[in-house]
Amino acid sequence: MSNDTLQVRRIGIDTYHENVAYLNRECGLYRAEGFQALSKIEICANGSRVLAVLNVVDDAAIVQPGELGLSEQAFAQLNVAEGSLVTVNHAEPPSSMDAVRRKINGERLDQNDFNDITNDIVESRYSKMEMAAFLVATGQNNLDRDELLFLTRAMLKSGESMNWHESLVADKHCIGGIPGNRTSMLVVPIVAAHGMLIPKTSSRAITSPAGTADTMEILAEVNLTPDQLHQIVRDLRGCLAWGGTAKLAPVDDMLISVERPLGIDSQGQMVASILSKKLAAGSTHLLIDIPVGPTAKVRQMRQALALRKLFEFVGDHLNIHLEVMITDGRQPIGRGIGPVLEARDVMQVLQNDPDAPADLRQKSLQLAGRIIEFDPDVRGGQGYAIARDILESGRACVKMNDIIQAQGSKPIDLHPGHLCQEIIAPYDGLVTHIDNFQMAKIARLAGAPMMKKAGVDLVKKLGNPVKKGDLLYRIYAEFPADFKFAQDLAAQNNGYTIGDDEQLIKPLIAF
Amino acid sequence: MSNDTLQVRRIGIDTYHENVAYLNRECGLYRAEGFQALSKIEICANGSRVLAVLNVVDDAAIVQPGELGLSEQAFAQLNVAEGSLVTVNHAEPPSSMDAVRRKINGERLDQNDFNDITNDIVESRYSKMEMAAFLVATGQNNLDRDELLFLTRAMLKSGESMNWHESLVADKHCIGGIPGNRTSMLVVPIVAAHGMLIPKTSSRAITSPAGTADTMEILAEVNLTPDQLHQIVRDLRGCLAWGGTAKLAPVDDMLISVERPLGIDSQGQMVASILSKKLAAGSTHLLIDIPVGPTAKVRQMRQALALRKLFEFVGDHLNIHLEVMITDGRQPIGRGIGPVLEARDVMQVLQNDPDAPADLRQKSLQLAGRIIEFDPDVRGGQGYAIARDILESGRACVKMNDIIQAQGSKPIDLHPGHLCQEIIAPYDGLVTHIDNFQMAKIARLAGAPMMKKAGVDLVKKLGNPVKKGDLLYRIYAEFPADFKFAQDLAAQNNGYTIGDDEQLIKPLIAF
């Protein structure tokens, strides 16, 4: 074998979104090229090319001199047989990092810069570090609205797009931050029952205790092929699928995999992320839900208005009909927080159960009503009544069951985890404040969303009077370790404030 | 074995500055805890604790269920025997990331914030992504000068400090960017021969074709223990060692390991990096060299002045006597670029060889003169003459030989690589411009600094008249692949501009 080629060996190590290559320290190539551990290399075989981070191996049982080991992901991406010959070179840093450095230096980027950056990210030319640099450099107020439009367009172009061949394709999206806010699972069956096309694809939870995909998964398969998705939408006018399989705006998912561990979240990136995904999914009409409250993502009315205008600016330039609803984000919506508990709430509303959480029902009807008014045949102001009629008549429930059957129903078990802790009121008063972040954190520590039956079940909501010793909420868990973490956190701060009428937080908006 | 403990296994994989742990996918713990590949875990054993990034393994030959594999670095850090029992938990994100997020949001940080951040970085609580976020958030103009002072102080406190128990400990530092600029190897023997204490520790090349440590290594050992270093400095008043073994401002090295691949380089971080290292090394008097020129790091005089004031502000608050010299950075200094070629230039100057590069000699004498004037017994304006006398009398050369012997001399071979390409003038004229970046890049591609004998050897400098076909410079390499890369780059752009008298770039400063 020449000094320049190595034999590929598949290494049974899962390195998630990051390609890793393994080279024996005694390998001639390693010494000749002056490779360093953690440097980025380019591997070529037979027309195929992948980039990977290098790890240096001292154990010939893992990889021998003359071999190049590849982690599962890198091996799959390179897509050649084990033992194939490959060549290895230093990877050039991505050329679009020049634009990122210009942005760090305070310059304004143009459409071409954003196109180059998203192309390099999609082609795995960016390391996690480089993506973090891009995210921070374009975070917060560092993008003006034209740059935001350029970024959205570039993210949209980075992947595939769907075309439903209809003039009205409806969608809704909440910017997040409110636990239990599972309105999509009510809006979709109502709107689809009205006959409008609403092919909803959702994400799994990123930092929250449950996403729509996690919750829908309690009832039905959400991992659909593009063909299945299209068939179901053609038949039923709506679906509730996981969006991860479609290659829509893939840059968004790659950036989120860095945003999540960093815990950074900028308004500009949120607008670009949401709109690029929705446009790629073929939406023509979009309703955005912006909850406002002291522990919501948006805390002040003026911030909500600024964000609304950003959405409108980018939406108008990208030719999507976009409306924004600013909603009450003072507390969690519904009772359950966590996949199983939220699925239970949704089914109660659909079944017109008198015990169904009224706030979840009410908000979902308002959102569905606004979407129904996208229909040119609906008279302005009539959407809410139509939505309520669809829900109360049981047509929404029938539609939901049809969707569940079509996606593939699951044996339904809506019982929460077997470990349960009750959190009680320490004295008499009124619930004046419920902290969305704290409730979400307790539910996450209890195991949600990974542990489907874990979470928090709220008994008292804002404004409810309580006596000392009354039950405020329950924590559910499946594993003792999770249970203890959640109990400990609730013991430090249970998220509820008990006070008097004066102290009750008022909504920032009139509904 | 309980479900909670795992047996440690050492995995022969070198993951450089990043700890990696390997867990079998079939391991009960993996499934119970919902760990994900690339998530950060905390490993505890017997009072010892390390953080690592998780890789999931499907091959029991690498790691079995019930075992926890650790990369070389993580295994060394945990410091327990193979087979020891460890417990594993999710690592909490570092709490100081809150401060980083506040900085991203445009807030001003205080001394405590910077202390918390540097502590978390030193304790390996930051991932590379998190360090990148910190670097970008505090990059460019995002730190005011008080914050810069806080950061410098925090970096200084993050490690150990040296104390030489003398009232005058001299040092010099160049901000970099000028190839061939090996003045330290002349300044140290001159200043030490004058009797001043100058315990110089240097870095290896980061993005340049040679650092002082790489070049000194051609002549002598540079990897000294703290005891050796102190002994040599006590005996000879000076040394030229690699600074990497001392634990001075370790945060600086960790941040540099992220800055380098990102190619970001902010003035604020440079000031904090240089001053924290110099203060930790026990310097009391410091001369900073800021080269200015169209292809230097600092391109405009006003930038050089702003940078000088930043150095002075932080230096004064941290109680170091600091002077700044703004120097001519229009072209490389000396002839050689690359460790062996630069060592040859230095030895020619020390030996008063009539062929020695005049610019390297002149600049080194100016710097040494300024440092000698730190001596209260030297009359203002006499430093240069003293330095020149020390050099011309041969006392500097004797001192250098003493230092080489004390550090451990090496068999000296100052011949460049055996592969040689001559670059010639395409037409008659004058050398009007030499691009520092391009010359450094050609030398790096030729193999420097890893390949000691590789690099570039300049024959013509700015203002020299040339005839068509005259030799401009030579490229030297040791390996054909490197040689070809460097040749290809020089064929695209050889870094030299030939023009007329009018076009010759003038120095931005009078010297």
pLDDT of residue B511: 46
- Averaged pLDDT, A353-372: 97
Contact: A261, B129; criterion CB under 8 Å: yes
Distance from CA of B335 to the nearest CA of A (A): 25
A61 in B contact zone (CB under 8 Å): yes
Q: Which helix (H) or strand (E) holds A443?
A: helix A436-445
* CA separation for the pair A6, A68 (Å, rounded): 6
- Averaged pLDDT, A409-433: 96
To the nearest 10 degrees (0 to 180), the angle between helices B358-372 and B383-392 is 130
> Chain B interface, mutation test: which of A140, A262, A265, A483, most B Cβ atoms within 10 Å?
A262
Residue B228: which residues within 8 A CB-CB, separation 6 or more? B407
A207 pLDDT above the threshold of 80: no
Token duo for residue A337 = 């927080």
Contact: A13, B130; criterion CB under 8 Å: no
Q: Are A322 and A288 in contact (CB under 8 A)?
A: yes
Per DSSP, helices labelled H in B200-300 are 212-219, 226-236, 250-262, 267-280
C-alpha of B471 from chain center: 32
B127 in A contact zone (CB under 8 Å): yes
Among the four given CATH numbers 3.90.1170.30, 3.30.70.20, 1.20.1440.230, 3.40.630.10, the one describing domain A419-503: 3.90.1170.30
> Chain A interface, mutation test: which of B95, B104, B265, most A Cβ atoms within 10 Å?
B104
Inter-chain CB pairs, A–B, below 8 Å? 147
Residue in B113, B265, B328, B345 annotated catalytic: B265
The rounded mean pLDDT for chain A is 91
Contact: B140, A104; criterion CB under 8 Å: yes
Token duo for residue A377 = 């045949």
B227 in A contact zone (CB under 8 Å): no
A410 pLDDT above the threshold of 90: yes
* CA separation for the pair A434, A416 (Å, rounded): 22
CA proximity to A458, closest of A478, A436, A479: A436
To the nearest 10 degrees (0 to 180), the angle between helices A111-122 and A250-262 is 80
Chain A residues with CB inside 8 Å of B450's CB? 34
> For B56, phi and psi rounded to 5 degrees?
-100, 130
| Amino acid code (one letter) for A397 | C
Q: What number of other Cβ atoms are within 10 A of residue A500's Cβ? A: 10
Residue in A265, A289, A328, A345 annotated catalytic: A265
pLDDT of residue B187: 98
Distance from CA of A475 to the nearest CA of B (A): 18
Contact: B22, A12; criterion CB under 8 Å: no
Contact: B264, A104; criterion CB under 8 Å: yes
Residue B374: which residues within 8 A CB-CB, separation 6 or more? B168, B170, B196, B285, B321
ipTM for this prediction:
0.75
- Averaged pLDDT, A424-429: 96
Q: Are A92 and A67 in contact (CB under 8 A)?
A: no
Task: Using 50 as the pLDDT threshold, list the residues of chain B that sit under it.
Answer: 1-3, 511
The CA-based diameter of chain B, rounded to the nearest angstrom, is: 82
B38 in A contact zone (CB under 8 Å): yes
- Averaged pLDDT, A419-429: 97
Contact: B263, A101; criterion CB under 8 Å: yes
> For B87, phi and psi rounded to 5 degrees?
-110, 155
Contact: B132, A132; criterion CB under 8 Å: yes
At B403 the three-state DSSP class reads helix
Token duo for residue A467 = 């006596």
pLDDT of residue B208: 86
Chain A residues with CB inside 8 Å of B36's CB? 16
- Locus of tokens 């110099």: B278
Distance from CA of B206 to the nearest CA of A (A): 13
A143 pLDDT above the threshold of 50: yes
Q: CA Rg, chain A, in Å?
A: 25
* CA separation for the pair A167, B165 (Å, rounded): 82
Token duo for residue B435 = 């691009």
* CA separation for the pair A86, A45 (Å, rounded): 5
Token duo for residue A198 = 């609403």
Contact: B264, A15; criterion CB under 8 Å: no
Kindly provide the b/e burial profile for residues A320-352, where b requires at least 16 CB atoms within 10 angstroms of the residue's own CB.
bebbbbbbbbbbbbbbbbbbbbbbbbbbbbbee
| Amino acid code (one letter) for B433 | H
pLDDT of residue B2: 40
Residue B252 a catalytic site member:
no
* pLDDT above 90: percentage of residues in chain B: 71
Q: Does domain A170-407 have CATH number 1.10.150.120?
A: no
Chain A residues with CB inside 8 Å of B73's CB? none
A69 pLDDT above the threshold of 80: yes
B446 in A contact zone (CB under 8 Å): no
**CATH assignment, B97-157:** 1.20.970.10
pLDDT of residue A31: 58
**pTM of the predicted model, to two decimals?**
0.81
Q: Which helix (H) or strand (E) holds B48?
A: strand B48-57
Tens-place pLDDT, residues B115-132: 999 999 988 888 888 999
Question: Chain B 137-156, CB below 8 Å of chain A: which residues?
Answer: 137, 139-141
Domain extents in chain A: 5-90, 97-157, 170-407, 419-503
**CATH assignment, A5-90:** 2.40.40.20
Chain A residues with CB inside 8 Å of B15's CB? 37-38, 55
Q: Are A494 and A434 in contact (CB under 8 A)?
A: no
Identify which of A17, A38, A136 has the shortest CB distance to residue B137: A136
Contact: B12, A258; criterion CB under 8 Å: no
A3 pLDDT above the threshold of 50: no
